[in-house]
Amino acid sequence: MVETISKLMFPRMTALITTCDKDGKPNVASFSFLMPISFEPKYLAFSVAPERYTFKNLNEVREFVVNIPDERMLKEVWICGTRSGRNVDKFTLAGLEVERSLKVRPPRIRGCPVQLECTVELMERFGDHYLVIGRVVEEHVNKVDFKPVLHYSGKIFYRIGEKISAEPL
């Protein structure tokens, strides 16, 4: 049986990624095709389908912010991952408050424990998505030990479990 890749590679960290258009109008959407790439300097990647409003924004302003929500923000994650900024202001709809970023134009989302301001270094199509590689140019970390939202597929998510160590104690 052929399964979708999201059901084969899980759970995945979920982020609320903010972008903006050339006039500075911001948008936010949920992304779980997301990975770190480099320690120093920090680079990361995510994958965006070309139908997303986020993709249109990234072609206008090559900057974004990766806002990592806590599991208490699952409802907001769902709203931002099921509605498009083309038709609706998701900040208002999901009740998300924003703050100005320091180095990029898209805003950061208040309350997300990790906020990574990024510039686009590469955007290239692979299959039905574009891989976006970003360089982290500024970071805001309010809490290191938080509970991320872990995505499986569709509306199914996981919550982080028990911490385990590779070394027997």
Ligand X SMILES: Cc1cc2nc3c(=O)[nH]c(=O)nc-3n(C[C@H](O)[C@H](O)[C@H](O)COP(=O)(O)O)c2cc1C
Binding site for ligand X (CB under 6 A): 14, 27, 29-33, 46-49, 52-54, 77-78, 81-86, 129, 151
User: DSSP alpha helices (H): ranges in 27-154?
Assistant: 53-60, 74-80, 90-94
Q: How far is the CB of 50 from ligand X (least distance, A)?
A: 9
The residue among 104 and 130 lying less far from ligand X, judged by its C-beta, is: 130
Enclosing H/E stretch for 6: helix 5-8
Cβ–Cβ < 8 Å for 135, 117: no
The residue among 84 and 119 lying less far from ligand X, judged by its C-beta, is: 84
The residue among 38 and 82 lying less far from ligand X, judged by its C-beta, is: 82
Q: How far is the CB of 166 from ligand X (least distance, A)?
A: 29
**What is the chain's length?**
169
Q: How far is the CB of 27 from ligand X (least distance, A)?
A: 5
Residue 57 vs residues 4, 40, 126, 159: alpha-carbon distances, Å: 27, 27, 19, 31
Residue facing ligand X at closest CB distance? 81
